[in-house]
Each structure stands twice: as C-alpha cells, then as structure tokens.
C-alpha cells in the first residue's frame, strides 16, 4: 500500500458510499421538515374465542377453524392474524371466566363462538344469555368489536327450549350493535359426511364449508376494522 485511497473516485464502491450518504441526508431532511415516512401497515389481529368448534377438536391445528379462516382471508389479500382461543367443553359461563386473559391487548376484533355446549347440556337459556351479555359488554368496554357466531338449539330439546335459546343471539346483537352471523354450523349440522364420527364436531371438509359460508361476514367485519384503524 502507498498511502493513497484504495479506490478511485469513480470506483463503484465509492459511488455506492456517496449514494448511501445522499439517501441518509434526504431521510434526515424529511425528518427535520416533519414529513412522515410511510410505515408498513400492521396486520388485523383477530381472536377466535369459542369452544371445541373453534379449538378444532379431533383435527390437526392447521385444519381448525381459525387456521382455515386465516388461510382463506390471506388468499383473498387480507393481511390478518387469527389466534385460536377455543377451549373444548367450554360453556358461555366458562368462556366468561377466562375472557380477560384470553383476549390480549392489541386485539382488533373478536369472533365469538359460544353456546353450543350450553344447548347440548340443556342449560337454562337465561344463564347462557347472561354470560354472553357479560362477554360482549366487557369487550365493548375495551372497545374491541365483536362478530358473534350464533348457535341454534338441537331439535331434540323440544320446541319450548328452542324458542327460548335461539333468539338469544339476535337479541344481544341488536342490544350491543355487534355483527351477527346467525348460525355457525350452517350447512354442516346434521350432515354425516361433514362431521366426525361423533356427529357433532365438523370434519376438515366440514370446517371448509363453515369457512366458505362465514367468509363474506368476516370480510365485511374486517373492512369495518380497517376503516376504524385508518380513522
């Protein structure tokens, strides 16, 4: 080495260094002028909060409802992350007891799917309504929007029970002004080919039917969430 600069002024490395310095200068100028640089948008963060129908009992994790719904939404261009907060066996009362730690800060919206176990056990619909009312009220207080997935009572519980249970979901949706998808198992309930051997829990094919049917409602829900975040 003779002490001279290792690269001449026209050398590509020297040109690259000058270019980087120019970019850094522009960034500093923008900051000085108060010009906001565009930031990468954060994904919409949803929590699917429910029972075994959400948890995906009997299925691999990647075939459970939240995972399949997330995949369907991403295929349609939505940047969304869905956390599976389903617990098999949960009633609405059990869901209420774990609500606060199941829905983390930063959640943009909740898909609420509870009530099936209440009906299967023949629980007093008044208890179901009270628990769901508290769940939605708490989420409302936290300013977390809700898409409620409704449930229908099995026919074998009789017309009287059904008349008390089924209206719970539209009544609460109207009370709180939340979005309602009327029946989570639409197109799947009572279809042996779309359910597992127990006749209750959807198979992978059944989950895909559920996702396809609920997808427009979820897209509309996400659209409102995006508008709220942008505002």
The pLDDT tens digits of the residues spanning 53-110 come to 999 999 999 999 999 999 999 999 999 999 999 999 999 999 999 999 999 999 999 9
- The pLDDT score that the predictor gives to residue 22 is 61
Residues 184 and 216 in one domain: yes
52 in catalytic set = yes
Domain holding 132, by residue range, is 44-230
Say how far apart CA 157 and CA 17 lie, in whole Å.
Answer: 77
Q: Which residue among the candidates 90, 131, 201, 203 is catalytic per the annotation? A: 201
- pLDDT band for position 41 (50/70/90)? confident
CATH of the domain at 52: 3.40.50.1110
- pLDDT at position 230, please? 83
Catalytic residue at 201? Answer: yes
27/68 same-domain check:
no
Catalytic residue status for 198 = yes
Measure Cα distances from 135 to 114, 127, 201, 227 in Å: 10, 12, 24, 24
Residue 2 belongs to a domain: no
67 and 109 together in one domain: yes
- Residue 46 is predicted with a pLDDT of 98
Q: Are residues 12 and 123 in the same domain?
A: no
Beta-bridge partner residues of 49: 85, 112
**HSE-CB of 39 using CA atoms within 13 angstroms:** 6
Q: How many domains does the structure of the chain reveal?
A: 2
Same-domain status, 27 and 48: no
Which position among 52, 90, 166, 208 bears the catalytic label? 52
Tens-digit pLDDT profile for residues 187-222: 999 999 999 999 999 999 999 999 999 999 999 999
């Amino acid at each position: 080495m003779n002490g001279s600069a290792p690269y001449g002024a026209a050398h590509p490395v020297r040109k690259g260094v000058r270019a980087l310095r120019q970019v850094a200068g522009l960034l500093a100028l923008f900051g000085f002028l108060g010009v906001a640089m565009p930031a990468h948008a954060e994904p919409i963060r949803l929590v699917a909060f429910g029972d075994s129908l959400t948890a995906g009992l009997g299925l691999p994790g990647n075939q459970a409802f939240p995972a399949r719904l997330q995949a369907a939404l991403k295929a349609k261009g939505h940047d969304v992350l869905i956390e599976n907060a389903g617990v098999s066996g949960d009633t609405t009362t059990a869901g209420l007891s774990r609500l606060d730690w199941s829905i983390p800060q930063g959640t943009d919206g909740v898909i609420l799917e509870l009530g099936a176990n209440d009906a299967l056990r023949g629980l007093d619909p008044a208890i179901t309504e009270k628990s769901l009312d508290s769940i939605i009220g708490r989420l409302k207080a936290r300013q977390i929007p809700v898409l409620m997935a409704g449930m229908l009572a099995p026919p074998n519980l009789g017309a009287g029970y059904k008349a008390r249970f089924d209206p719970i979901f539209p009544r609460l949706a109207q009370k709180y002004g939340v979005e309602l998808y009327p029946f989570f198992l639409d197109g799947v309930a009572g279809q042996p080919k779309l359910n597992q051997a127990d006749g209750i829990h959807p198979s992978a094919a059944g989950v895909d039917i559920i996702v396809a049917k609920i997808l427009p409602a979820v897209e509309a829900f996400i659209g409102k969430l995006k508008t709220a975040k942008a505002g």
